[in-house]
Chains A and B, each alone.
Chain A
Amino acid sequence: MFGLSALELARIQFGFTVSFHIIFPAITIGLASYLAVLEGLWLWKKDTVYRELYHFWSKIFAVNFAMGVVSGLVMAYQFGTNWSYFSAFAGAVTGPLLAYEVLTAFFLEAGFLGVMLFGWRKVGPGLHFFATIMVAIGTLISATWILASNSWMQTPQGHEIIDGRVVPVDWLKIVFNPSFPYRLAHMTIAAYLATALFVGASGAWHLLRRRDTPAVRRMLSMAMWMLLIVAPLQILVGDAHGLNTLAHQPAKIAAMEGHWRNVPGEGVPLILFGLPDMAAETTRYAIEIPRLGSLILTHSLDGQFPGLSEFPAADRPNATIVFWSFRIMVGLGMLMLLLGLWAIWARWRKRLYNSRPLLRLALWMGPSGLIAILAGWFTTEIGRQPWVVYGVMRTEHAVSNHSALALSTTLILFLVIYVIVFGTGVSYMLRLVGRGPEAHREPEDATGDAGRRPARPLSALTDARVPAPDLSTDRRG
């Protein structure tokens, strides 16, 4: 297809399916914790606004979760189907980490999700809260294992290579490999940021349409507080992550900075914009700030770090891509910080809920967290190339022996299905957001009896526009 090799097609297929996938778990992680907080606040303060928000966001969560599950299923099999040499080579490390993710996270989430979404009247409030917390914890455990696995591929340690395959020697070293703590913190915060921006945009959208209810105000307010706290935190963590990358994957940093060679005795400038040219080994049209690159990466004015020319051509990641994906991520991060600061200033001036420019920015920033996550992953994964396990196995040696024809066929299949299925799902999510949190009617007999146990978990999703003929007769009182 388009003259692409089987290796390129396999990489595109993996990149495409995992990029689609990561959007859903990121929102799942953030929303699950948000829902736990909302339910906790409802139980503690008995303020019905929290319960209203809980029911509103749990419907959106349910749609999002289903898409995360089915897109994740593909990932669990793709290592074997598309990257069989990698699986056979490194499976002794990445396999157990994935198995632990399934055992400690996926089952936990799935096991308590039914009760969380549909058990509101079937179990007591304490037990229901417990189910919500279990789902939220499950999402965080899941992130921990998969990021341990990914980080090991970035900064492998704790293993030996015996008879041409990886043998784990020290599991603590494998899990707590050098880049893991940074990546875990960076990604978890990113998920919280992306969710806060999504929730904030939802609140802003309703306020811009003059649907000014306590629940709408509360969600915007909570989102902006969250943003104010986590956006600066993310910048600090990102900086630390960058230094860690410099220590362990200097070629990636050189590519991200478009930095080709050092001038003896001179600090490295920060290239704000430019176009890295891989063939000419230079960054064209560079707009530079002298010494700022040194300051950021070495925390001194004339410190140096390796340029991309210092690495053999076969070991260089594509700087043209990662230079830009990195800038998109950082640029959006700065905008997030700006939004958080603007919101606290507006709050202080009592204009948080009616400053239209602010609300408009909050609305437009809605997808920015997810775009930043994708840009960040493009940076770290393409920046790891040409290695699949950094310094240990090259990507070209990892791929299965499928023909370009087989890969093209399945790629087109995935493209069509993902666009239709997940495009529709996202539109349903946005429609739910658009309907807004309505006062949630609580049945008088909250305990319920055996004959009235709601049997349909997905009923949490039932659109108000769906005629549900038996609803009124079924509901007593």
Chain B
Amino acid sequence: MGIDLPLIWAIIIGFGLMMYVIMDGFDLGIGILFPLVRNRGDRDTMVNTVAPVWDGNETWLVFGGAALYAAFPLAYAVVLSALYLPLVLMLAGLIWRGVAFEFRFKAAEAHKPFWDKAFAWGSYIATFFQGVALGAFINGFPVADRSYAGGALDWLTPFSFFTGLGLIAAYALLGSTWLIMKTEGDLQRRMIALARPATLALLAAMAVVSLWTPLAHPDVAARWFSLPNLVFFSPVPLLVLLAAWLLLRALARGAQATPFALALFLLFLGYSGLAISLWPNLIPPAISIWDAAGPSQALGFTLVGTLFIIPFILAYTAWSYYVFRGKVRAGEGYH
């Protein structure tokens, strides 16, 4: 054979979750920015920029879950039951956020402020608990006899609380730069003003996580700070600084699409850094992707279809974005 199926699947799932983070990231970011924008027309415009695509964006989260289930059932079982409460809260947030997309246009006038609040709160809660889940994942899970052996509240640590806040900053940056690209006028100026502190907040969060993780986990420190790894991995933090600097400059000169592209790049770098820290564990600290993989009959069967279908998915997703391209104007485009 010689095909390393678990490795390929780890890459596919990593890709799927990254697609989710960046795509639903800017959807959720719009909800996070909601409390900072009071004008109803502006809020409508903000929602309108993502209304045609949010559903597809969220599908990547379902894909991540399903692919993990298919390829690494052990990890799906252990990680999801360990993260039971934060994931339920994340789902609750996504429910409120998702229906608010529809309901805030459908509701009677008196109920509209309620659904605006539901949209914002749902986005905050979903994002925060995604970040908490990420932090808990980095911290790792005790496993005994192929199942989760920790307590129901083990996920609640200062570190996971911090990663929750960090992800809010990350999505706020994605949301604001997306809106810089998709809007104009006053709203765009607001977003440029907000993107700057969001960039700095994300940068600070990345710095803290980058220090906290190796300090708390000697094995992570060993991976980063041993030679020759240090040489290979050093471009990641350097590129983060470069991208953040370019992003701030692009904001200053009023660039339209560049800030969003650089925000995506920043997120990608942060994601890569985490991947380096955790590799090759799927259930940190000790269970690798090869230990957690399901039988090769399952991985192979699913891989054939996945490799065939994903290009089509990317193609029609891109087409949909193309159909709804360009600036979204206030009050534009009923029907």
Q: Which A positions have Cβ atoms within 8 angstroms of B? A: 62-63, 65-67, 69-74, 76-77, 79-82, 84-85, 87-96, 98-104, 106-108, 110-115, 117-123, 162, 165, 167-169, 171, 400-403, 406, 409-410, 413-414, 417, 421, 424-425, 428, 432, 443, 450, 452-463, 465-471, 474-475
Q: How far is the CA of A458 from the CA of B27 in the complex (A)?
A: 14
- Say whether A115 contacts B317, CB under 8 Å: no
- Say whether A443 contacts B335, CB under 8 Å: yes
- Say whether B332 contacts A107, CB under 8 Å: no
B76 CB to closest chain A CB (Å) equals: 5
Partner of B298 from A63, A87, A92, A401 at Cβ < 8 Å? A92
Q: A95-B69, A103-B306 are in contact. Are A469 and B55 (CB under 8 A)?
A: no
- Say whether B148 contacts A401, CB under 8 Å: yes
Q: Let me know if B56 is at the binding interface, CB within 8 A.
A: yes
- List 16 additional contacts besides A88-B77, A123-B323, A413-B92; criterion CB under 8 Å: A66-B102, A70-B99, A77-B91, A80-B69, A88-B73, A88-B78, A95-B302, A110-B59, A120-B335, A417-B92, A453-B325, A455-B48, A461-B102, A463-B105, A466-B105, A466-B109
Q: A168-B297, A410-B88 are in contact. Are A106 and B62 (CB under 8 A)?
A: yes
- Say whether A95 contacts B66, CB under 8 Å: yes
Please give, as numbers and ranges, the residues of chain A lying within 8 Å of B328 by CB-CB distance: 455-456
Q: How far is the CA of A259 from the CA of B166 in the complex (A)?
A: 61
Is chain B's interface secondary structure helix, strand, loop, or mixed overall?
A: helix
Can you list 23 A-B pairs with a CB-CB distance of less than 8 A?
A66-B99, A79-B76, A79-B80, A80-B79, A80-B80, A81-B81, A92-B295, A92-B297, A98-B70, A103-B310, A111-B317, A112-B316, A119-B323, A119-B324, A162-B295, A167-B298, A421-B99, A428-B106, A443-B335, A456-B332, A466-B109, A470-B331, A474-B334
- Say whether B103 contacts A428, CB under 8 Å: yes
Q: A111-B313, A171-B301 are in contact. Are A454 and B332 (CB under 8 A)?
A: yes
Q: How far is the CA of A98 from the CA of B59 in the complex (A)?
A: 13
- Say whether B301 contacts A96, CB under 8 Å: yes
Q: Which B positions have Cβ atoms within 8 angstroms of A? A: 44-45, 47-49, 51-53, 55-56, 58-59, 61-63, 65-71, 73-74, 76-81, 83-85, 87-88, 91-92, 94-96, 98-99, 101-103, 105-109, 146-148, 152, 294-295, 297-298, 301-302, 305-306, 309-310, 313, 316-317, 319-320, 323-326, 328-335
Q: How many Cβ-Cβ contacts under 8 Å join chain A to chain B?
A: 306
- Say whether B148 contacts A102, CB under 8 Å: no
Q: How far is the CA of A160 from the CA of B71 in the complex (A)?
A: 17
Q: Name the CB-closest residue of B to A432.
A: B106
Please give, as numbers and ranges, the residues of chain B lying within 8 Å of A99 by CB-CB distance: 63, 66-67, 69-70, 302, 306
- Say whether A69 contacts B87, CB under 8 Å: no
Please give, as numbers and ranges, the residues of chain A lying within 8 Å of B84 by CB-CB distance: 81-82, 400, 402, 406, 410
Q: A80-B65, A114-B323 are in contact. Are A403 and B95 (CB under 8 A)?
A: no
- Say whether A402 contacts B81, CB under 8 Å: yes
Q: How far is the CA of A92 from the CA of B300 in the complex (A)?
A: 11
A109 CB to closest chain B CB (Å) equals: 8
Q: A66-B102, A459-B335 are in contact. Are A98 and B69 (CB under 8 A)?
A: yes
Partner of B333 from A104, A167, A417, A456 at Cβ < 8 Å? A456
Q: How far is the CA of A95 from the CA of B63 in the complex (A)?
A: 11
- Say whether B56 contacts A107, CB under 8 Å: yes
Please give, as numbers and ranges, the residues of chain A lying within 8 Å of B77 by CB-CB distance: 80, 84-85, 87-88, 91, 400
Q: How far is the CA of A69 from the CA of B94 in the complex (A)?
A: 10
Counting chain B CB atoms within 10 Å of each CB, which of A69, A110, A123, A461 scores highest? Answer: A110
Please give, as numbers and ranges, the residues of chain B lying within 8 Å of A421 by CB-CB distance: 95-96, 99
Please give, as numbers and ranges, the residues of chain A lying within 8 Å of B102 by CB-CB distance: 62-63, 66, 425, 428, 458, 461
Q: How far is the CA of A187 from the CA of B108 in the complex (A)?
A: 35
Q: Name the CB-closest residue of A to B318.
A: A111
Q: How far is the CA of A462 from the CA of B105 in the complex (A)?
A: 5
